[in-house]
Structure 1
Amino acid sequence: MSMNLSKDQKNGLRLLREFVGQVSTRVFILRGPAGSGKTTILSELIADSENKFILCATTGRAAKVMSYCVRSEATTVHKRLFNVSVQDGLPRFKNKDEWVEGVYIIDEASMLQNEQDESLLEAQSMIGIIIQRIKDSEGSKVIFVGDPYQLEPVGEKESVALSIEALTRHYEVSAMSAELEIVHRHNACSGILNLATSIRHRHKGWTLNDFEPTEDVKKISRTILLQRLRQEVECNTFHRVKYIVATNRTANEMNYLIRSQIQGFPTDLSVNDRLLVVQNNTFYTGKGTAMIANGEDCRVVELLGVVESIGGGIVDGKAYEPYLFQDGVIEVKTLDGQFKQKRVKLLLNPMFSSTSNLNPFEERRFYSFFARRNPKGAIYNPYYRALRVKYGYVLTGHKAQGGEWEVVFVDVADWEVSPFGYRWLYTAVTRPRTKLYLVMD
């Protein structure tokens, strides 16, 4: 064994080896909080096993991180399982006919949907498709990997992929499991670790007021938020600092406030603005650059020309907002941690939306509009394939999931009445590497 593993990591690795070496059980669940070493033991498993492993993740950002950590290519679950088709004017995912036998490792599995996925051509759940493919392929298995305390899929009440009981109840499968409990990312005296542990093992009646500030966890009021943000940005720059809030609407409002009050930017997009990618994009991949993934940060290096306004006006008596595009050069981070510049076309409409991306109606109209303008279809139109972005200074807990930054501010004023409750709070407070600010009121 090439790494120094803790007791629970050794036990997890032993169970994983047992799982891939036998034939009766086809599903394994590897659970553990952020920083517990799940990727570490998976790297060991892959390195010393002759099995074929297929690496996937639920998001593009998680797939890129997994590729870098495991030193093997990972793709999104959607790319591995589906081809793109079109139905009712919208791109839909259709099951691929081909299936590669092997051990599928799916990271960030807490986000896997168990409800029917509207983006699929047939009414199926993502977990259901995976389980059925595993059942139908004698030489295949799946390892679901994730943090059971993080946010469940949007609109669902549990993370089915990380629960033996739930998988058995829904899909009548047996599974093995291992749970890593010790967090190695922070030292034992870390306030961030102690707060996360308190949330995970909370006692009845526990509130944030019971948590005493520490050297790395501070409680601040909203009145000094911008002052502290400015101080941290001056020390770390914005790509190492994030502010996490509950809703897209609040994120939009705070993004504009921070741009104005801290960055000194005008209303319009500016050079050096920080952007958040809101949809995976493979159009701008090239040598040394994987796809630009949903949830990734990037920086505006140069703006080319003026904003293009396309498609607005009155149609059948109804007014439609135009689509707004801006050509420019952005800086993105590669898998090896370097920064690379890419010329792109940006779609700006998500910046003004109270949702994370275009809503279903807007998506359908967007696709149809550009499909009519290219004989091969919308996916060949450079405007349709534009990089979709929001401002990236502030993001929601769901967008933050799977990310990590040096310093994180978390708006906790309304977390107790949030429909996501403790899971939202836990997900948010486990994002920082070194310092956490709790914005209390």
Structure 2
Amino acid sequence: MVKNMLTIFEGLHPGIQADDSQRKALEALEDFLRHDQEKGVLVMTGPAGSGKTFMMKALVRWMRQADLPVVLLAPTGRAAKVLAQTTRCRANTLHRQLYRPVEDDLLSGRGFRVRFELKSMEKDEPCVFVVDEASMMGNGSGGGESLLVDLLQQIHESSSWHKIIVVGDPFQLPPVGETESPAFLPSSWKPWGCDFRKIELAGRYRQSALSPVLNLAGCILDWMQWEKYCKEGALGNLEGLGNLGYKSGSWWTEFGEWIKAYAEGGSEEDPLLHATMHTAILDFEQHYEPGQSVLLAYSNAWASKFNNGYRSRRFGNRVARPSAGESLLVVRNQYLNGGHLLANGEEIRFVKRVGKTHQHGGMSWINGLLEWIGMDGEERTFEGKLCLDLLQSGQPSLSPVQQQALWQQRVMEPDSMEKDPYMAALWVKYPYAQTVHKAQGGAWSRVYLLLERPYAVQDPISYLRWLYTAVTRCSDRLIFVQPRF
């Protein structure tokens, strides 16, 4: 006999009782799965700490007991691995689920690109798709990837029934080029004939009630709501906001006061506020743990400055290239031999250099022996070509000029682009500092947050969203850093 989802939820977390919104959500999930809507979609949203992770564990456990086939998906490699660890069930990236690489002609005179096409469902059998971190799913309208539309297209073309459960935080940054996350909007689903339902979680439970990090996230949501009211003139739900005497932009003053008070909780040995990037680098070096420590910035330029500064101190005259055992962050989807997808956002380990540093297309390159743990948990060793210029630059990818230089250097053979080792090279960056956009879907126990203020005054809602997304990457200790050396 299959237990109800509420019983499973409370059994997985002894001492924690579901609140009203969680109970309603669990009941809605179970009702949704027990009925036979062929094109049903259920969207479950909630802010940081509202219990989404607990809900996902209970959901997957219930589906296993009910013998319901489930496919777990996430927009990035990092988010997929977090989902797999949370549910103890295999998860994949949306990219791996949706696309396959195909040979493509080079864009003569305009650089090159890897082209992927939508593939048919590998196993066209009834199943439930569960997509986590869905705030990152775009529909292509802003110029980014059309993950949402392509998922719907793949399902629409299949011959079996499928249900979709979408989970995410509506207050996080939307996909690049979009103002809202399309996955949470009924208008994105209804043209496909989907039976749309939505449930919202309330409350903040992930950390204790005394958690300064979670308290700050709550304050940011309040400030965001007030700025939206000032902009749109629609009061909405301001319960708990406290001060209705706000003026637009006054949250910045409160934020400054909050940081001052928060910093008093630090110590000389482990401060919570650094006045300069230099002192932050020293502190980062002292406390760094792979996969547990990161500095988050708004711009790639500042992330690169921190990476270069930290590596210069740590590796000295060996800073020009990766060192043995160093982690690297993948910034472009890449298929390896055997069809294994190395997804954007995953980390790999540099084992050693193979051969000498060499020049090609006006850039420096090395071949490296690399290690990677795939979505299936298997460790793989492979050789890849790395561009040192990209590793050390303040740009997120090779520039159009650099790509065009590779095109001009290409040996003209009737082979596919993937046979050219430079055009099929791995695009990687150092992972110590990342932009908040790149870090979305990840979590670290120790987060250094660089307080850039690129559009705080001109567009406060967007900045608050950025700030909220950054703060909620932290599971334990949050350290603020002033953007100056």
| TM-score (normalised: structure 2) | 0.75
Deviation at 1:406, TM superposition (A): 2.0
**Which one-letter code corresponds to 1:22 in the other structure?**
H
Task: Please name the residue that 2:251 is paired with.
Answer: 206
| Greater CA drift, 412-421 or 103-112 | 412-421
Report the secondary structure of 1:244's partner residue. Answer: strand
C-alpha RMSD of matched pairs (Å)? 3.4
Deviation at 1:49, TM superposition (A): 2.7
Give yes or no for the alignment of 1:16 onto 2:29. Answer: yes
- Give 1:435's match in structure 2, choosing from 451, 473, 477: 477
Report the secondary structure of 2:86's partner residue. Answer: helix
8 Å contact from structure 2 (residues 385, 426) kept in 1: yes
- 1:379-416: per-residue Cα shift (whole Å, max 9, x none)? 24554443221122211011111112221111123151
Higher strand share: 1
Task: Please name the residue that 1:63 is paired with.
Answer: 80
Deviation at 1:210, TM superposition (A): 3.8
Report the secondary structure of 2:262's partner residue. Answer: coil
Task: Please name the residue that 2:12 is paired with.
Answer: 3
| Greater CA drift, 299-308 or 186-195 | 299-308
1:412–1:369: structure 2 CA closer, same or farther, 3 Å change rule? same
* Structure number, greater radius of gyration: 2
Task: Please name the residue that 1:176 is paired with.
Answer: 197
8 Å contact from structure 2 (residues 105, 417) kept in 1: no
- Structure 2: how far apart are the matches of 1:332 and 1:436? 28
1:413–1:386: structure 2 CA closer, same or farther, 3 Å change rule? closer
**Which one-letter code corresponds to 2:478 in the other structure?**
L
- Structure 1: how far apart are the matches of 2:283 and 2:379? 24
Report the secondary structure of 1:213's partner residue. Answer: helix
**Which one-letter code corresponds to 2:166 in the other structure?**
F
- 1:53-103: per-residue Cα shift (whole Å, max 9, x none)? 222211122223323332333222222222323455233222224462422
| Greater CA drift, 273-282 or 12-21 | 273-282
Report the secondary structure of 2:101's partner residue. Answer: strand
**Which one-letter code corresponds to 2:469 in the other structure?**
T
**Which one-letter code corresponds to 2:256 in the other structure?**
N
| Greater CA drift, 422-431 or 330-339 | 330-339
8 Å contact from structure 1 (residues 219, 438) kept in 2: yes
- Structure 2: how far apart are the matches of 1:9 and 1:425? 26
**Which one-letter code corresponds to 1:6 in the other structure?**
A
Task: Please name the residue that 1:318 is paired with.
Answer: none
Show the 5 A alignment for 1:362-401: 366=406, 372-373=412-413, 375-401=414-440
Task: Please name the residue that 1:260 is paired with.
Answer: 312
Task: Please name the residue that 1:241 is paired with.
Answer: 293
Unaligned runs of 5+ in 1: 313-320
8 Å contact from structure 2 (residues 329, 347) kept in 1: yes
- Structure 2: how far apart are the matches of 1:150 and 1:277? 22
Aligned residues: 421
- 1:335-386: per-residue Cα shift (whole Å, max 9, x none)? 699987655432334225443223467557757966845x552324554443
Task: Please name the residue that 1:94 is paired with.
Answer: 117
Give yes or no for the alignment of 1:81 onto 2:98. Answer: yes
| Greater CA drift, 132-141 or 430-439 | 132-141
- Give 2:346's match in structure 1, choosing from 282, 293, 296: 296
8 Å contact from structure 1 (residues 284, 292) kept in 2: no
- Give 1:107's match in structure 2, choosing from 126, 129, 132: 132
Deviation at 1:294, TM superposition (A): 2.0
Task: Please name the residue that 1:358 is paired with.
Answer: 398
Deviation at 1:330, TM superposition (A): 4.0
Task: Please name the residue that 1:317 is paired with.
Answer: none
Deviation at 1:109, TM superposition (A): 1.3
- Structure 1: how far apart are the matches of 2:458 and 2:354? 41
